[in-house]
Amino acid sequence: MNRVRAAIVGVGNCACSLMQGGAYYRRTLSSNGLIHQSIGGYQASDVDFVLGIDVDRRKVGKPLVEAIFASPNNTQVFEADIELTSAQVIMGRVLDGVAPHMVQAGERGFQIADLPEPTQDEIVAALRRERVDVLINFLPVGSQRASEFYMECALEAGVGVVNAIPVFIASNPEWEARFRQRGLPIVGDDIKAQVGATIIHRTLSNLFSTRGVTVDRTYQLNTGGNTDFMNMLDPARLADKKVSKTEAVQAALAQRLDDENIRIGPAEYVPWQKDNKIAFVRLEGSQWGGVAVNLELRLSVEDSPNSAACVMDAIRFCKLARDRGEGGTLIAESAFYCKHPPQQLVEDVALGLLDARAAPRLDAAE
């Protein structure tokens, strides 16, 4: 089969974990930790990361396999010996992709390269030169204009997209129509973790609902020490993130909660946690006879590897849809892998649809 050629915008912790995992599965041929081992015949080992785009001087101009380990990245290293390839990190556009306080944060923040910013035509040329199939958007939360710039580039270059951040593209009807008209698939928005706070919160909320327990109030509070949490110290960059996470949980409830009874979002930046994320979840409900039942949960998990399995699947489903000439938002893929899809589906329903799509088609095998 053809390889899957992927480009990454935002060479941060998520890119680091994703690429380490790609190397790990090429080396071990293991299926442990994968949601789907094969998607239309594409294995995790078939994904090649051929281009990186960033604005940090510690990454721009470096081989991609070296840049993923550069500061301020601080995620866990579990596959350090990655084969060197020709893939490079090129200079991107800053726009609103870097918050002012992140530039002032020194070593832990961003250090913008003193280089000319590329035009749209130059980014499009790079995507075409590297024959990119799928572009992954790993920009910081709140990067609305920067995300839209790269979406324009993808549309012009004829590239599918996995929008891993809470800037609403796949769930925006106008953007969705443009991808559909161009026959280009997109998965989004805001990638879920493999076993993270939102998917656990959704599962528990659905459990309460299916067992006849009314959820009266709930919260999810998260702390972490990576650049994502530092970036979100700016409240202005948090709006879409809070909407995305809150709507993901609201969709799993039998009855929508009033705003004052639900609180979901990042709570605090704790530098020494690095890429470890700690989530506190509480549900307060009413069961038989109106008797109260309360549930509290604490989750501790390495944040960036926790998203990688979902992104790796989304990349391969996006490539498969591209092979089949499917354009627009991929509904089941977006519902299963993302917090803010255009259409929320129960996990079991979405997974059943994906399992059917992942199986190789008989006409292709013949």
pLDDT in tens, 71-97: 999 999 999 999 999 999 999 999 999
Is 210 a residue whose pLDDT tops 60? yes
pLDDT of residue 106: 87
**Alpha carbon distance 345, 364 (integer Å):** 29
Burial of 104 (0-12, 13-18, 19+ CB in 10 A): exposed
Q: If DSSP codes are grouped into helix, strand and coil, which group holds residue 336?
A: helix
DSSP β-bridge partners for residue 285: 215, 293
**Alpha carbon distance 123, 117 (integer Å):** 10
DSSP β-bridge partners for residue 286: 214, 292
- Chain centroid to Cα 27, Å, comes to 24
pLDDT of residue 361: 59
> What value does the mean pLDDT take over residues 315-333?
98
Determine what percent of the chain is predicted with pLDDT higher than 70: 98
pLDDT of residue 364: 44
pLDDT of residue 365: 39
1-10, 171-180, 315-324, range with the lowest pLDDT:
1-10
What torsion, rounded to 10 degrees, do the Cα atoms 93, 94, 97, 101 define?
Answer: 170
DSSP β-bridge partners for residue 276: 302
pLDDT in tens, 271-299: 999 999 999 999 999 999 999 999 999 99
Mean pLDDT computed over every residue of the chain: 95
pLDDT in tens, 119-161: 999 999 999 999 999 999 999 999 999 999 999 999 999 999 9
Burial of 107 (0-12, 13-18, 19+ CB in 10 A): exposed
Q: What pTM did the predictor assign?
A: 0.95
pLDDT of residue 330: 98
Closest listed residue to residue 99, CA positions, set 216, 233, 4: 233
Q: If DSSP codes are grouped into helix, strand and coil, which group holds residue 179?
A: helix
CA 126 → CA 58, 86, 87, 89, 246, distances in Å?
20, 13, 11, 11, 37
Angle between the N-to-C axes of helices 197-210 and 347-358, in degrees from 0 to 180, rounded to the nearest 10 = 120
What is the identity of the amino acid at 98? V
**Alpha carbon distance 67, 304 (integer Å):** 16
Q: Confirm if 225 and 275 have CB atoms less than 8 A apart.
A: yes
Is 366 a residue whose pLDDT tops 70? no
